[in-house]
Structure 1
Amino acid sequence: MPNQLGISSMSLGRAWAGHTMEGKLAQASAHGFLGVEIFFEDLEHIASSLSGGASTFENQIQAAKTIRGLCDKYNLAVICLQPFLFYEGLKDRNEHEQRIQKLKNWFELVKILKTDLIQIPANFLPAEAITSDIDTIVQDMAKVADMGLEQSPPVRFVYENLAWGTYVDTWEAMWDIVERVNRPNFGCCLDTFNIAGRIWADPASISGTTPDADEVLKASMDRLVKRVDVRKVFYVQVVDAERLEQPLIEGHEYYVPEQPPRMSWSRNCRLFAMETERGAYLPVIDIARVIFHQLGYEGWVSLELFSRTMADPSPTTAKKHAQRGSESWRKLKHLLNLK
């Protein structure tokens, strides 16, 4: 199928910054988006307004129904529910079982949202809390995949490497796990930010890049084309980030002692692709060309943005972000000659 444009609910401004879910979805629809990634935090925000609060599963069910109704109103598909955080490799197996119980609730939520996808980002808890043992990680992922296959209809899982992941910080590490899990409902997300942000860019460096950045990226993309089965790429996220004037180290306004620099950078400084006027500098076009042309990906393309600009309480915040995302996608399609 041709590529379909989606956006994350976070990309249109955080609900708790005064931007309602309906306002965000209305802007997404008005600017040509066909689908939206639903963040559990947005769901919780709606649930928090109900008697009993956000932690009540009944309220989460009601929130999911509300979101589904709004998506129907604005003709938007739900791409996935995310992020199912801090799951794989937990050393505390009691905590692991608690995550499993939470997942059973998520199965009910995705049915209401009318999606079959749950996204699991790579675990970024401290090393003392999670294991680097690949066998344990694979076992944990196979567990959720098998649980998903037991659902009717089956639920798929999309695994994503994070540029600041404790152990799974590259697409190669992520793909190794996908291959070893070897379940039809367990695939991955390829994210231009998390790929480039780990091996090409370094916000803590004066240059903003890693040593031999271009050569390392090219070699990685060559491996991606040879190794990745495009049928296991369940969706793609296309996003950029700004080049910082000063390295993101202690003393920088975005520096947070307990966060890796790449995580702080991600939370504050993402941009839509092609926004060079705002400082975008990642090789997004090179990565996207590989994914769409050489790998042959067709399907959902989501613009997942985290940025300090989303905290702007202005009533035009959601509209501006939707406009920027739509323009970014138009430019990318033109450059890559996408349908």
Structure 2
Amino acid sequence: MRFQPAIFSVSLGRAWLYDLENKIEQASKAGFKGIEIFYEDLDYSARKLAGNDHPTTEQILEAADHCHKTCQQNGLTIIGMQPFLFYEGLTDRAQHAKMIEKMKLWLQIAKRLHTDVIQIPSHFVLEGQEHTITEDREIIASDLRELADMGLAEEPPIRFAYENLCWAKYIDTWESLWDIVKRVDRPNFGMCLDTFNIAGSVWADPSSPTGKTPNADVDLELSLRRLVEEVDVNKVFYIQIVDAERLSSPLVAGHEFYTEGQPSRMSWSRNARAFAFEEEYNAYLPVEQIANAIIDGLGYRGYISMELFSRTLAYEGEHIPAEHAQRGMRAWKRVVERLKLQLH
């Protein structure tokens, strides 16, 4: 496989506003070949099936079966399911045990979806919750190794794609992400590299008047040079190419996106991402530079997911899923052109 375009199911509209089946159909009509499935979509479908807000395990699995069938009918491969949130490094080990039980269900869901990838975003906490997780990377890696071993016991094995969130408490850069992947040291444990989170950790700062960190360009160039030199491309399970809006004013107290106790980068991510190269939405991240490092520098080949979180996803109207699918495909075509991708 050279490259295939994929899209994130939530990027076609919030789960509680739009049916997953419609979003899958719109992704297919727009020309996508793959899709990431968000657990919320399955949960919402299962709630409809149950007729209440407390679906059974079997109803969740039935929703996964239906999702897979719908994707098959529309020519879409499910490249992964996400996000398995708030897991690694918990100081409350009773809560850790509960998360292990939750993963047992996720492994069943992945099989029903006919996907072999579960994505794990790095753990983030809000202000005042810092005590709930540890910064000890040996503990973080041990927790993730436990999941990897659970996945290896499956037939076929389930892989885990760990992703650094740029607002995460401890694993916020690709460098810290790569360190954890090496410590876990399992064949089914790798990375999801995201242009937004790479840029957001070293180059962009929505709370700054400039929208950038003080030494943004130099720091990014050095970071990407290290990425190409150090990362094993076989540990890159898939990538997400996504941009973000350059805000007209710093995201601090008083800004419409500001939420007290929430990192500014998280508020920015939830409200103001854009598809790649959407200058009409004030997109400004160095997406091309980062993507070239991953694709040309590392030699990545595989699915490229057009992920999006935005306030536009919560707008009402039957046109929202189709509109976002079409936006995503326009962005994909710009990615192909700008990065000179060789498609098969």
TM-score, length of structure 2 as denominator length: 0.97
Q: Report what 2:280 is aligned to.
A: 277
Cα deviation for residue 248 of structure 1 reads 0.6
Provide the rounded CA distance (Å) in 2 between the counterparts of 1:245 and 1:336: 28
Q: What's the counterpart of residue 205 of structure 2?
A: 202
The answer to whether the 8 Å contact 1:53/1:59 transfers is no
Distance 1:81 1:335 in 2: 28
Aligned to 2:23: 24
Q: Which residue of 2 aligns with 1:337?
A: 340
Aligned partners of 2:19 and 2:45 also within 8 Å: no
* SS of aligned partner of 2:321: helix
- Contact 1:54 1:60 (C-alpha < 8 Å) held by counterparts: no
Matches within 5 A, 1:1-339: 1-17=1-17, 19-51=18-50, 53-125=53-125, 126-339=129-342
Residues 288-308 of structure 1: per-residue CA shift (max 9 Å, x gap): 111111111000110110000
Q: Which runs of 5+ in 1 are unaligned?
A: none
Q: Please give the secondary structure, in 2, of the residue aligned with 1:50.
A: helix
CA contact (8 A) 1:163 1:198 kept: yes
Distance 2:22 2:154 in 1: 33
> Structure 2: which amino acid aligns with 1:234?
F
Structure 1 residue 49 displacement after superposition: 1.3
AA at the equivalent of 1:33: F
Deviation at 1:8, TM superposition (A): 0.5
Matched AA of 1:109 = I
Does the 8 Å CA contact 1:80/1:118 hold for their aligned counterparts? yes
- Checking the alignment, whether the CA contact within 8 Å between 1:240 and 1:281 is kept in structure 2 is yes
Which runs of structure 1 show a deviation greater than 6 angstroms over 4 or more consecutive aligned residues? none
SS of the aligned residue for 2:49 comes to: coil
* Letter of the 1:10 counterpart: V
Distance 1:135 1:293 in 2: 32
Q: Quick check: 2:239–2:304 contact (8 Å CA) kept in 1?
A: yes
Change (3 A) 1:102 1:119: same
Q: Output the TM-score relative to the length of structure 1.
A: 0.98
- Report the Cα distance in structure 1 between the residues aligned to 2:9 and 2:251, rounded to whole angstroms: 27
- Matched letter for residue 162 of structure 2: Y
Amino acid at match of 1:128: H
Distance 2:21 2:110 in 1: 19
**CA shift for structure 1 position 216:** 0.3
Corresponding residue SS for 2:130: coil
Partners of 1:103 and 1:175 lie apart in 2 by: 23
The amino acid that maps onto 1:48 is: R
1:43-76, Cα deviation, whole Å (9 max, x unpaired):
1101111336445211111111111111111111
Please report the RMSD computed on the Cα atoms of aligned residues, expressed in angstroms.
0.9
Contact 1:248–1:261 under 8 Å retained in 2: yes
